[in-house]
Amino acid sequence: MNRMKQAEHLVLRARLPVLRLRKNKALISHLLFQVSEKFQVKIYNNSLNSNHIHLLVKAPTHKQLHDFLRVLTGQIAQKITGAVRGKKNRFSFWLKPVWRRLVHWGRDFLNLHRYIYQNQLETLGLIAYHPRKRQPPPSRLDLVFFCSGLRTENPLKN
């Protein structure tokens, strides 16, 4: 079994903004902690937004994380849509795939924790929404041109 040493940031996106409803939020919160206990997944932070869920989690193994996600997403979809297990559904509740990335301990972990907390406050309407200024990282080719002197402006500066 592969042991996981780092936390992961997961984003589950729903096809419709049904996560906004109070009864659905209570249901999802309950399921989240029930399923995390079952699979021994530690939840550091979470944010339930109108059409997506942010999770900052750490599982003992990759299999437990996979099983946690499979059961959690399945149960949320079944409870909210009223779908019956084994029957063909008219549409999929979740957009595929689950967005995920490894989170390094230290500054990366704290920044993500802060981001998820800010997301919660924006969802609750306690603070105004501020669009994130996220710029894509410079391409390797830009860095090579800059280092070789073929390009004068620094691609890392902005």
Indicate the pLDDT class of residue 42, thresholds 50, 70 and 90: very high
Domain residues of the chain, as ranges? 7-124
pLDDT tens readout for residues 108-149: 888 888 888 888 888 888 888 777 766 555 555 555 555 556
Residue 87 pLDDT greater than 60, yes or no: yes
144/81: higher pLDDT:
81
* Average pLDDT over the chain, rounded to an integer: 82
Residue 52 pLDDT greater than 80, yes or no: yes
Select from 54, 61, 60 the least CA-distant residue to 121: 54
What value does the mean pLDDT take over residues 54-73? 94
Please tell me the pTM assigned to this model.
0.75
* Top CATH class, 7-124: alpha beta
